[in-house]
Amino acid sequence: MPPRLNLLGAGRSLAARSRPSIASQQPRISLAVSRRGYADENEPPATNDNQSGLGHVSEEAADMGKVTGETQPDLGKGTPVQDILRRDQEGKDKAPEVIRAEIDSTEANASDRTTFANLLALAQMENIARGGHGSDPVTVGHKYGIPELPLASNMHLKRRYDPVVNQVTNLIMKHGKKSVAQRNMSFILNQLRTAPPPTPNPARPLLPGSPPPAHLPLDPIGYLTIAIDSVAPLLRIRSQRGAAGGGAALQIPVPLGLQQRRRTAVQWILDAASKKKSRGSGKGQFAQRFADEIISVVEGKSGVWDRRQLVHKTGTSALHKQCPFQKYSHNPGHPHPHTQKNAIFYFMGST
Amino acid sequence: MASTNCWRCLSRPSTTLTHPSLLTLSRPSFSTSAILAAAVKKPTLAARSKGQKTLKIKKKAVVKTGKPPAAGERKAMRKRIVLSNTNALEVEGMQDLDEQMVEKLVRKKEEDLSVSFALEAAGEMEAEVVGKVVGLKGETVDSLRAVEAFKTTQGWGLFRRPGLLLREESRELSRRMVGAARGREELRLVIDGEKGSGKSLMLLHAMATAFVKGWVVLNIPEAQEVTNAMNDYAPIQGTTPTLWSQPTYTANWLGQIGKANNAVLQDLQLSMEHNLPIPIQSNISLARLCELGARDPDVAWPIFLAFWAEITARGRPPVLMCLDSLSHVLQNSLYRAPDYSQIHAHDLAIIRHFVDHLSGKAKLPNGGAVIAATSRSHAPISKSLELVIANAEEKAAHAKYMEQFTARQAQHKANYAAYLERFPAMKAERDAEIARWQQQLAIEEAELAARTAPRQFLDKKALKAMAPKPLLKPAPYAPLQQEELQLTPRDPFEKAYDARADKVLENVDVLSLKGISRAEARALMEYWAQSGVLRQRVDEESVAEKWALAGNGIVGEIQRGALWMRI
Amino acid sequence: MKKVAWLPASLRGGLQCAQYSQTTASSNFPRRTVFTLPKKQFSTSSSLQESIAAAPIRFTNNNAKEGEEEEDPVFNARLVPNSASYFTAQPIFTDDLLSLQNLLQRYANLPVLKPGEAPRVAWLSLADYRNIVGETVKAAKYSKIVEILHRLNHIHPSLMPREVKDVLNEYKRDVNPYQNTAKPGLVNTDGHALGAGRRKSSTARAWVVDGTGEVLVNGKTLIEAFGRIHDRESVIWALKATNRVDKYNVWARVSGGGTTGQAEALTLAVGKALLAHEPALKPALRRAGCMTRDPKRVERKKPGHVKARKMPAWVKR
């Protein structure tokens, strides 16, 4: 590296060196001791006596800045006396009045040192230090600003679609033909937004908090989500052979997670849609039927509601019939092992 | 061939030898497989059914429930055109495409200045109309619907009412149409472009403009329907070579024409005598004439001819004829003549009528336009059309080049003139330099001579080469090299050129559509967002992204990417 | 010696202690280290004996080091193994673990680096370790060793004791794959940056230049090259995720595989080329999924299978 052509800075650092007492070495050591858990210097201390571990004042102050997290003096510039004085209260008190006044005034705008313009300026100075020109291209690592992190949730290559859309697309996919499934999906969503707004059935309420039906068509993904989430069952029935005694199967309700609930609902809707008759001909007939089924779900006309009702009814009665864990509920000493299930039935009461 | 008669006895023909049974006997048998195969006994049906399993599995008969759809119902559903979505939001401040708007669109730049000052004074200064989405008036929509200008694939059903983007090419087309009508000449144009670049919509724009301006519009919405042998056809008597009419299609077409142009046609009355197969009152309107033709397919073609004669008579409005998917009419049709020879598309009366006007063989006395659009989806390849389009593009590119070249050449000449002017000064400067050089050389030589030992070798030759050369006369003018126009030649080995198509396309203009600009894309996306169908912020980044994803602004692909596939 | 030849190798050394009366106590004897092991694992040569839990015999005391005090010869009436690990299932492993634990205990108070700042080291794989010690060490057991090694590796390098360094070196793999860092991309004098990417069986190279968002793939525009919007999006995902679609042009060549593979190979290629222009975008691109090579490939077909895993249908007889 060519020598730095910074005569002014050199002068400053010379001036600073004339007061060795200012260069505080003590705090550095004590700090290192107090933060003993992590030692985070990047380079090991030099073993050779010629390369003393302590640099000149500016480097030292820069290291300090790194440790304390304060703004660091710029090594390219050399260290103004003021910067050193700011760290050293005793020196500051003894400093000339002009310098003291300057310190106080500059302390306020220390925060705006890391602007882009500043970075650019620093890099340009570095160019000069390297022996080039200030106008040489500068590498800041980016040209148009860095996008805010974390990125939006749909900005990952593998998660670019809405989760519901993604799941439904995968469920309507046949023979691994995803592009066909995606085409069908877009047809379904388009159908939802061009069909007249649904008229919900008060006996089959949608999820609480869903928007009014007139708003649904312009948000087809929301439409689809509400339809699926509204008919999604809260549980499935697992029948265990012989558990009821005498070889009879015991019906055990098992709570479902969000994905599983949606999956079940979509499967039911798919079943219903495949049983429908298409009215037209050509492409997109399946998608048309699926969209019709979604609309009829929201309107409470679909047979899918009955399937859900049936599962819930079976689940409730199965839970009443079986007693293996009822004894827990009477015993205050033991928490109920199926608290989650109880929560489910609490919800089911409302449906 | 050897005689079948006996050689020794020429008089008596040996008929016995020609007996078929004897011939077969005498033929040597090279293969025994036929005999063996004949000997194998095929298992009888009874044997097969006795316990032996066959692969045939009986399928359950499909149980049909409900009423099957009526004939044509499913097709009607497929072809249904929805022009409104009541869920979509009304776009506020969207202007309609009316006569004023067309005027504004076609106004020339230089005209613009004077008019704009006047408008500014009146406080009516309007912004640029290109790059805006305009709505279509109700009656225009009805007319366009009647001529089947809307297509199912264009996504009209997403918006509250049909809107049209005015792009740079729309302005050009409108200008040329209006100019043609003014000069009572016809604009003959082929619109070409990539798939999804808006060719059919450009046709629609032309038709909408024509309806707004009170033209008579005849549209063949899909050339394939005329040529693919799906309609009845009959030879027209007294034509050589034989022309073929398509009575039902013509009747239907006349009906469409009458319905779409009703506003214009009902005010126009018959002005000539026609000898038609049916008696017709002499004072009926042209709209009524179309109705009569639409009613009876047998007389549709004569009535169409009468209608055409009326519409091209003196003082009638300009006419616009449009046709989509041109390449279908540039080859043999699927119809067959009675001798089973193929009928060329140009021998179909309707197509002949269109291509005669497209080629300029027949004129439109009242002015107007004949516009055909190519199709890039499932259309046959027409080598003739491809060549014409390629040549047109090369010509356009060359014209653009020449424009730049002329400017560059002017600059070059100016530079040379400046050089000539500067030359004396340069010459003087150079002479002074040479003088200095020689002076320096003399000094050095003197120094060298003064130094006695060691003697240094002075390479005089090299020094001479290094000496500055005197300027004698200005450099001659070197003209810029101009690139010649190079047209794609006809492939001499290509057999697929169609001679009749070549003749038709001999001198038609080509309007090739490219992608829309970013500003136009932005206008379009803002319109979608205002309609509530694009749920996304429209800013520079999102526009740039959609524009890039659509292969540099292919408008159909922008729509596909922003509205259909990514919701 | 000959008398014990029938014994298992691990026992032989131990028995030697008893055969000869002049034996030292095991505690004083420097324990062998695993990694001075001879290569021949299965030979019966006597050099093997060193490696086994019991120490070799010292015939005389006169080769003892200076400063070490002489001990009284101890006479063991029974066989005494050198180490108590002898009674475990994997004596060598146990010894190793114990010695490492011991080491850690000794140097637990040394300052350490922040997690993640220590130099990345590839430790011996389980298979390698098993090969070396010749014992059937379970994966979970070996992970304990690795855990300690990991902790020891975090001791601040300036204060790392020599002993620890030596031990760590013994457990290091011969080649450290983590030293193999990717070369940063370069922008040439014309402003072109080249990136390469692969996915499935597709290979892509993309040149990214400052521009206005035009993309050419094999000389075709994006819509000609990819019919699916999904694929087109994949190609420019790196630009899209960082809001730079209108800032760069892409010129790419891609070959092999199908459309999805080609598109996603291009994702990687464009991402890497963009990184050459703007290295500071790496975290963003990583989070956008444009920096990761998807290593999945088609699984190979196996003999006896119809496809990779599908078995022929069962046929009766």
pTM of the model: 0.71
What is the band of B240 on the pLDDT scale with cuts at 50, 70, 90? Answer: confident
What is the side-by-side strand order in the sheet with B186-193?
B216-220, B319-324, B368-373, B186-193, B509-513
- Per-residue pLDDT for B374 more than 90? yes
CA–CA gap between residue B165 and residue B525 (Å, rounded): 11
What is the token pair recorded at B104? 């504004």
Residue A239 is predicted with a pLDDT of 87
Residue C183 is predicted with a pLDDT of 81
Residue A283 is predicted with a pLDDT of 85
Return the number of other C-beta atoms located less than 10 Å from residue A271's C-beta: 13
Span B449-462, average pLDDT: 66
Q: Where are the domains of chain B?
A: 81-391, 515-564
Residue C288 is predicted with a pLDDT of 96
pLDDT digits (tens, 9 = 90+) for A121-154: 777 777 787 777 777 766 678 888 889 989 999 9
The β-bridge relationship of strands B163-166 and B132-135 is: antiparallel
What is the band of B468 on the pLDDT scale with cuts at 50, 70, 90? Answer: confident
- Per-residue pLDDT for A59 more than 70? no
The answer to whether the Cβ–Cβ distance between B66 and A280 falls below 8 Å is: no
- Per-residue pLDDT for A27 more than 70? no
Residue C7 is predicted with a pLDDT of 47
Query: What are the residues whose beta carbons fall under 8 Å from the beta carbon of B5, sequence distance 6 or more?
Result: B12, B13, B14
Q: Which residues pair with B166 in a beta bridge?
A: B132
Looking at chain C, the domain(s) classified CATH 3.30.230.10 span: 193-287
Please provide the DSSP assignment of C7-62 as one string: S-HHHHHHHHHHHSS-B--GGGSPPP-GGG--S-SS---GGGGGGSSSPPP---ST
Q: Which of chain B's residues have a Cβ under 8 Å away from the Cβ of A182?
A: 565
Span B117-143, average pLDDT: 77
Low-confidence ranges of chain C (pLDDT < 50): 1-50, 64
CATH fold of the domain at A162-348 = Ribosomal Protein S7 (1.10.455)
Residue A337 to residues A256, A313, A329, C8, C38, Cα–Cα distance (Å)? 16, 21, 9, 53, 58
Residue B329 is predicted with a pLDDT of 95
Question: What are C's interface residues with B at a Cβ cutoff of 8 A?
Answer: 213-215, 221-224, 229-230, 232-233, 236, 240, 243, 245-246
What is the token pair recorded at B341? 């020879």
- Does any CB of chain B come closer than 8 Å to the CB of residue A179? no
Question: What are C's interface residues with A at a Cβ cutoff of 8 A?
Answer: 111-114, 117, 156-159, 228, 230, 233-234, 237, 240-244, 247, 264, 267, 277-281, 283-284, 287-290
Q: Count the alpha carbons within 13 Å of C111 in the hemisphere toward its beta carbon.
A: 17
> Closest residue of B to A185, CA-based?
B565
pLDDT digits (tens, 9 = 90+) for A70-106: 444 444 444 444 455 555 565 556 655 655 555 555 4
Residue A37 is predicted with a pLDDT of 35
Does the ipTM exceed 0.90? no
Residue A117 is predicted with a pLDDT of 66
Cα-atom radius of gyration of chain B, to the nearest Å? 39
pLDDT digits (tens, 9 = 90+) for B519-565: 999 999 999 999 999 999 999 999 999 999 999 999 999 999 999 88
Span A59-72, average pLDDT: 44
CB A121 within 8 Å of CB A113:
no
- Inter-chain CB pairs, A–C, below 8 Å: 73
Q: Determine what percent of chain B is predicted with pLDDT higher than 70.
A: 85
Which helix (H) or strand (E) element contains residue B163? Answer: strand B163-166
Closest C-alpha among B48, B64, B44 to residue B56: B48
What's the count of helices (H) and strands (E) in chain A, helices before strands? 15, 2
Burial class (CB in 10 A: 0-12, 13-18, 19+), B521: buried
Average pLDDT, chain B: 86
Residue C104 is predicted with a pLDDT of 96
Q: Which of chain C's residues have a Cβ under 8 Å away from the Cβ of A146?
A: 280-281, 284
Burial class (CB in 10 A: 0-12, 13-18, 19+), B3: exposed
What is the band of A248 on the pLDDT scale with cuts at 50, 70, 90? Answer: confident
Q: Which of chain C's residues have a Cβ under 8 Å away from the Cβ of A158?
A: 289
> Is CATH 3.30.499.10 the classification given to domain C193-287?
no
The answer to whether the Cβ–Cβ distance between C283 and A149 falls below 8 Å is: yes
pLDDT digits (tens, 9 = 90+) for B333-363: 999 999 999 999 999 999 999 999 999 999 9
Q: Which of chain B's residues have a Cβ under 8 Å away from the Cβ of C246?
A: 540-541, 544, 548
- Per-residue pLDDT for B453 more than 50? yes
The β-bridge relationship of strands B332-336 and B319-324 is: unpaired
Residue C316 is predicted with a pLDDT of 84
Please provide the DSSP assignment of A212-278 as one string: PGGGSTT-HHHHHHHHHHHH--SEEEEEETTTTSTTPPEEEEEE--HHHHHHHHHHHHHHHHHHSPP
Looking at A49-63, B368-382, C130-144, which range is the least confident one? A49-63
- Inter-chain CB pairs, A–B, below 8 Å: 47
Q: Which of C151, C154, C230, C245 should be substituted to probe chain A, the one whose Cβ sees the most A Cβ atoms within 10 Å?
A: C230
Residue type at B43 in one-letter notation: P
CA–CA gap between residue C144 and residue C93 (Å, rounded): 11
Kindly state the DSSP code that residue C251 receives in the 8-state scheme: E
pLDDT digits (tens, 9 = 90+) for B142-167: 999 999 999 999 999 999 999 999 99
pLDDT digits (tens, 9 = 90+) for A161-170: 999 999 999 9
Closest C-alpha among B258, B454, B226 to residue B323: B226
Q: Where are the domains of chain A?
A: 7-42+51-108, 162-348
Residue A95 is predicted with a pLDDT of 58
The answer to whether the Cβ–Cβ distance between A141 and C280 falls below 8 Å is: yes
The answer to whether the Cβ–Cβ distance between C111 and A39 falls below 8 Å is: yes
Q: What crossing angle do the helices spanning C162-171 and C139-153 adopt, rounded to 10°?
A: 140
Residue C161 is predicted with a pLDDT of 94
